[in-house]
Amino acid sequence: MVRVLVVGSIHMDLVVVLKRFPEIGETVIGRDFKMTPGGKGANQAVAAARLGAETYMVGRLSRDFFGKVLRENLKRNGVRDEFVVEDPESYTGVALIFVDAKGRNMIAVAPGTDARVAPNDVDCALDTLGSVDAVLLQLEIPLETVTHAAKRAKEAGALVVLNPAPFKPLPEGIYRHVDVLTPNEVEARQLASRFGEYATLRESCEVLLEKGLSAVVVTLGPKGAHVFSRDFEGLVPAFRVPVVDTTGAGDAFSAALAVALSEGMSIEKAVVFANAVAAIKTTRLGAQEGLPYREEVDRFLSERGVKVG
- Contact partners, residue 268, CB within 8 Å, separation at least 6: 227, 232, 234, 236
Query: What CATH number is attached to the domain comprising 277?
Result: 3.40.1190.20
**204 assigned to some structural domain:** yes
By residue range, what is the domain housing residue 249?
Answer: 3-7+39-92+115-303
**229 assigned to some structural domain:** yes
pLDDT at 287: 87
Q: From the CB of residue 52, how many other CB atoms can be counted at a distance below 10 Å?
A: 16
The pTM (predicted TM-score) of the whole model is 0.94
- pLDDT single digits (tens) 114-127: 999 999 999 999 99
**179 assigned to some structural domain:** yes
The one catalytic residue among 87, 114, 179, 251 = 251
Rounded to 5°, angle at Cα 276 from 174 and 176: 10
**18 assigned to some structural domain:** no
- Contact partners, residue 49, CB within 8 Å, separation at least 6: 55, 77, 78, 79
CA atoms within 13 A on the CB side of 230: 7
Query: Sorting pLDDT into bands at 50, 70 and 90, what band is 104?
Result: confident
Rounded to 5°, angle at Cα 129 from 90 and 77: 60
Q: Is the pLDDT of residue 78 over 90?
A: yes
The DSSP call for residue 173 is G
Q: From the CB of residue 86, how many other CB atoms can be counted at a distance below 10 Å?
A: 12
**100 assigned to some structural domain:** no
251 is catalytic: yes
Q: Is the pLDDT of residue 252 over 90?
A: yes
pLDDT at 247: 86
Number of domains in the chain: 1
- pLDDT single digits (tens) 140-177: 999 999 999 999 999 999 999 999 999 999 999 999 99
Dmax (CA) for the chain in angstroms is 53
**309 assigned to some structural domain:** no
